[in-house]
Amino acid sequence: MASGEIHTYFKGSWHQGDIAVMKAGDHGAWLGSTVFDGARMVHGLLPDLRAHCERVNRSAEALMIEPSCPVDDMIAIIREGLARFSADAPVYIRPMYWATEGNETVVQPRYGATGFCIALEEIPLAAPDAATTLTRTRFRRPVMESAVVNAKAGALYPNNGRMLAEARSKGFGNALVADAMGNVAESATANVFMVRDGEVYTPIANGTFLSGITRARHIANLRADGVTVHEAVLTFEDFEKADEIFLSGNLNKVTPVTAFDAVTYPIGPMTERARQLYWDWAATDLTL
């Protein structure tokens, strides 16, 4: 994105700026074999950094790309790069892999022909009251038989982009998206939660969307705080009857939702509770 100060790790060294890392002939450039992950440094904290590094390596394997950087090495490289920023800088941490060559089929990546970089980009968190609105979209989340939904793959995001374009053309900020069966999966950009009668609900992970690291953290935090959290099959009608809705993604952790089509919602107490629990937990995360 290169929206703020950025430092890039490539071929064993850190470089200042948004440097070129991919060649025109790279498999990832023309056949889309790219994966990434996104972690955060906020207030000097690095919540779930190890989990994000582990996931990018699993994503690479899902696309038949050999992950060339062990997790412990990746964490050490990231910490080295973060020293280039001020201690309180809000940094988006983005490790990325892509295939540089195909095998004899051309289309399948050649295992071992791997490109790797890490981008550290200064991106502030959205304000706590920065909310979004949702609408329906005709586009759906795919299934494993038709897309690499078990990876955080760049190839999945054009579908998300057309969901967002449709939502914005209708005057909304994001889309509430169905799975192949017509039940709610997530939003176009993040996992989704709803609140009803003091209990929290989120679509059950059914293989049509990436069940996020931050999603899992919210579920664990809320349950530890005594909140009943249901992972369930949810319909659009369930969301219309909700008391609160919020999105859960790594970029902003919690994003309140104030409308779904004609239904409006407050930024409610459970949304604020989830946010506070997250940052309270983050201050104690010692998984590095």
Q: How many Å apart are CA 131 and CA 279, to the nearest integer? A: 18
| Beta-bridge partners for 215 | none
pLDDT at residue 1 in the model: 59
- Three-state DSSP at 156 gives helix
Using one digit for the tens of pLDDT, what is the confidence trace for 70-89? 999 999 999 999 999 999 99
pLDDT at residue 128 in the model: 87
Using one digit for the tens of pLDDT, what is the confidence trace for 144-195? 999 999 999 999 999 999 999 999 999 999 999 999 999 999 999 999 999 9
CA distances for 250 relative to 52, 100, 213, 217, 242, angstroms: 10, 28, 8, 11, 23
pLDDT at residue 4 in the model: 78
Q: With beta carbons less than 8 A apart as the criterion, state whether 56 and 67 touch.
A: yes
- Three-state DSSP at 47 gives coil
pLDDT at residue 288 in the model: 61
| Beta-bridge partners for 184 | 178
Q: What is the largest CA-CA distance in the chain?
A: 57
- Taken in order of first residue, the domains within the chain and their CATH numbers are 6-122 (3.30.470.10), 132-282 (3.20.10.10)
Q: What is the pLDDT along the chain (288 residues), one digit of tens a residue?
A: 556 799 999 999 999 999 999 999 999 999 999 999 999 999 999 999 999 999 999 999 999 999 999 999 999 999 999 999 999 999 999 999 999 999 999 999 999 999 999 999 999 999 988 999 999 999 999 999 999 999 999 999 999 999 999 999 999 999 999 999 999 999 999 999 999 999 999 999 999 999 999 999 999 999 999 999 999 999 999 999 999 999 999 889 999 999 999 999 999 999 999 999 999 999 998 666
pLDDT at residue 2 in the model: 59
Q: Which of 152, 98, 83, 120 is nearest to 9 (CA)?
A: 120
Q: Which of 103, 46, 81 is nearest to 282 (CA)?
A: 46
